[in-house]
Amino acid sequence: MPFVVAWAIFATYVLAARGVRNLFPISVFDMYQAHAPEYVARVLVVDAHGATAEVDAFDDWTCEWEVERLDRLEPVCGSRHRPIEYVTRDQTHWIERHAAETPGPETVTLVSRAYRLRPEAGAPPHEDCAVARCTVRRRDAP
């Protein structure tokens, strides 16, 4: 009996999900279902030595912006720069919540880094688009 019940409910859920796609509690779980585009982008921090870091590695942000919003980079950086929207939204919130009145001790550049996904081995080539020049304080600094 449980075998029949399980497979009938399994088939029901799969068929229902193919119809409605995502409506709680039914989901087709279609996250990242498509083939990746040739270029993928991510906003990163580049310090004075060229090292990369995440936005949340820094506090006390003051910035001069090149773009209107982090999730609208295309007008300035071009069509290759389409970072995931919720990632840039989280980054924007971090910068806003950790803003400073006075400039921090370190100068960094906020860049959109567009990687080109090639089938060959090796680090994917990338191009950076500066979106802001900022002063910050490194969180793990003494």
Partner 1 sequence: MSRLWGSWWDGHPRTVMRIGIAVIVGLEQLVETFQVDWQSRAPDKYPPTGALSRWLAEVPGAAWVLFALIGIGLVAVARDRRPIAGGLWALAWAAVLSEWQTQIFGSPSRNAFFPGAVLLGWTLGQAWAVSMGARADREGKASRERLGEAGALACLAAAYVGSGLSKLLTAGVSWADGAQIRALVLQQQPVARWDWLAAYREAFVVDPNVAVAASVGTLVLECGGLLLLFGPRLRLAWATLLVALHVNITLLCTMPYVEPMLLLPLTCIPWPTVFRRPPSARPAEPGGPVIPWPMAVALLGLVVAAWLAAPWGWRATG
Q: Return the number of the residue (5 or 101) whose C-beta is nearest partner 1.
A: 5
Q: Return the number of the residue (8 or 99) whose C-beta is nearest partner 1.
A: 8
Strands 39-46 and 126-138: unpaired
- What's the CA gap between 124 and 4, in Å, rounded? 49
Q: Evaluate whether 133 touches 46 at the Cβ level (below 8 Å).
A: no
Q: Evaluate whether 55 touches 111 at the Cβ level (below 8 Å).
A: no
Q: How far is the CB of 126 from partner 1 (least distance, A)?
A: 9
Q: How far is the CB of 62 from partner 1 (least distance, A)?
A: 20
Q: How far is the CB of 102 from partner 1 (least distance, A)?
A: 25
Q: How far is the CB of 127 from partner 1 (least distance, A)?
A: 13
Binding footprint of partner 1 on the chain (CB under 8 A): 1-10, 12-37, 40-42, 44, 52-54, 57, 83-87, 89, 93, 115, 117, 119-124
Q: Return the number of the residue (83 or 104) whose C-beta is nearest partner 1.
A: 83
- H or E element that contains 101: none
Cα–Cα distances in Å, from 20 out to 2, 26, 41? 27, 8, 30
For residue 67, with 0-12 CB atoms within 10 Å meaning exposed, 13-18 middle and 19 or more buried, which class applies?
Answer: buried
Q: Return the number of the residue (92 or 103) whose C-beta is nearest partner 1.
A: 92
